[in-house]
Amino acid sequence: WGKPSDKIEEGILGNKRILLLRRHGKQFKFPPHLINYRANIAALRELGASAIIATAAVGGIAAEVGKIVLPDQIIDYTYGRESTFFEGGDTPLKHIDFSYPYDKRIREKIISAATAKSIILIESGTYGATQGPRLETAAEIQKLRKDGCHIVGMTGMPEACLAKEMEIPYATMAIVVNPAAGLCEGEILLSDMEKILSQGYEICMDILKTVEL
């Protein structure tokens, strides 16, 4: 499936062996629409990942900036991405059941770890996965809101369904780094998102230290 986005680092976090892969690569080499999602998921599986917990920056549609959301549903608005390992030929096709894209058990483990540390998470929500790399129009966000999306991001798909095809339980901790388009005054600036993202990431890591898988 080609090369993953970056070298995969191996280490210990809390009492777990972890593998860390930056999906955008070093210096943000791969924008969301050019990430080799298949190579990333296949590499994690080859290295023996028994679960994947993704972190992701998202815009808030019905979630405040600074909050961490644990989505339980996803709507896919992306296009033109390689979104399956099934390529025809001799590989027998499997239509995976994708009714519940995020793994319930892993989500519950994350919630328990956060609760034990008195960290408040938004425990459910629908992630709208958009194509990017541009942000959305205000009208697109209104459409997503009507569709039932609470947060919007660009990397949720096809990552979630590829993990499901590989039978790796998958969950996402989504850090709300900006109000989605049209829901704030003024322009959405990357520079405003960065500080919130790094604070959110530290909180996610703190939770992950004690998640018992």
Site string for ligand HPA, 122-141 (x = CB under 6 A): --------x----xx-----
Segment interacting with ligand HPA (CB under 6 A) among 34-42, 80-88, 105-113, 152-160: 152-160
3-state secondary structure of 141: helix
Instruction: Tell me: does residue 71 bind ligand HPA (CB under 6 A).
Output: no
Instruction: Tell me: does residue 35 bind ligand HPA (CB under 6 A).
Output: no
Instruction: Tell me: does residue 180 bind ligand HPA (CB under 6 A).
Output: yes
Whichever of 121 and 152 has its CB closer to ligand HPA, that residue is: 152
Token pair 């039932």 is found at 148
What is the Cα–Cα distance from 213 to 52, expressed in whole angstroms?
11
What is the Cα–Cα distance from 119 to 149, expressed in whole angstroms?
23
Instruction: Tell me: does residue 178 bind ligand HPA (CB under 6 A).
Output: yes
What is the Cα–Cα distance from 37 to 83, expressed in whole angstroms?
8
* Pairing between β-strand 170-179 and β-strand 68-69 as defined by DSSP bridges: antiparallel
Whichever of 115 and 137 has its CB closer to ligand HPA, that residue is: 137
Total number of residues that touch ligand HPA (CB under 6 A): 12
Helices (H), the chain: 37-46, 104-116, 138-147, 156-165, 190-210
Site string for ligand HPA, 95-124 (x = CB under 6 A): ------------------------------
Whichever of 57 and 63 has its CB closer to ligand HPA, that residue is: 57
Whichever of 72 and 136 has its CB closer to ligand HPA, that residue is: 136
Helices (H), 13-137: 37-46, 104-116
Cβ neighbour number for residue 82 with a 10 Å cutoff: 15
Tell me which of 4, 59, 158, 169 binds ligand HPA, using CB under 6 A: 59
**Cα–Cα nearest to 174, from 9, 64, 15:** 64
By Cβ distance, which residue is nearest to ligand HPA? Answer: 59
What is the Cα–Cα distance from 137 to 27, expressed in whole angstroms?
27
Min. distance of Cβ 146 from ligand HPA in angstroms?
16
**Cα–Cα nearest to 57, from 32, 76, 78:** 32
Tell me which of 21, 42, 113, 154 binds ligand HPA, using CB under 6 A: 154
Chain contacts with ligand HPA (rule: CB under 6 A): 57-59, 130, 135-136, 152-154, 177-178, 180
